[in-house]
Amino acid sequence: MSALWLIVLTATVLFIVFLLWYGGNGAPMSAQEKEQWLLKCHTLYTGTENAHLIPDAQRLLDSDDGKEFIMHNVVRYRPKALYPEGSGYDSDPRAADMRYGRIIFPRLLRYACHPVFIARRMGGFMDYEGAPEWHYVAMVRYRSRRDFFKTFIRENDNAVIHKWAAVGQTHVFPVQSVISFIWVRCAVAVLLVLVADVAIRLLA
């Protein structure tokens, strides 16, 4: 096999492996799998200040179709980070949120999930009376609801302390793309083509 065809074959295999990992069109969770996740939520949250997450988890499980989705988040920071006494962390909520991000980002990538858009609020427009003054918007791509639960529903989760220390209010809900100019698969394909082209030129 010539070097040229070896490069083309390698790039093609890498792209196929990426597509399989990136997924986005899997099978829905079974009823038993949904029950297991809901039971885990009950075990983790019943009787705690996060008990409201149990019905939230139920709604998310009920809407499972096995496909990729975007989780839309709007966040308002606390005036000061609310850590347990003696934690040793400072009172900056943005620093707490960054600590949370450093822990959660590797988990997201493990399941081919990633942020697609993060933006700070720049002012107000058409706000209703009493609307929270959100500090930022984040949109995160998940390969499936199954992967969302794998990422966040964990015992002894060391990320939770930072998240709730930082966040005073939040509104989170899943959305499905209707029109999107974020083409991750296309971008990876173009990158592999460019790398293969450079490799071929170096061998020429």
Q: What is the pTM of this model?
A: 0.90
Q: What is the pLDDT of residues 11-54, one digit of tens each?
A: 999 999 999 999 999 999 999 999 999 999 999 999 988 899 99
State percent of the chain over pLDDT 70.
Answer: 100
Q: What is the pLDDT of residues 101-143, one digit of tens each?
A: 999 999 999 999 999 999 999 988 888 888 889 999 999 999 9
Among residues 151, 200, 152, 175, the alpha carbon closest in space to that of 68 is found at 175
CATH class of 68-175: alpha beta
Q: Judging by beta carbons within 10 Å of its beta carbon (0-12, 13-18, 19+), is residue 49 exposed, middle or buried? A: exposed
Among residues 102, 29, 74, the alpha carbon closest in space to that of 175 is found at 74
Domain residue ranges in the chain = 68-175
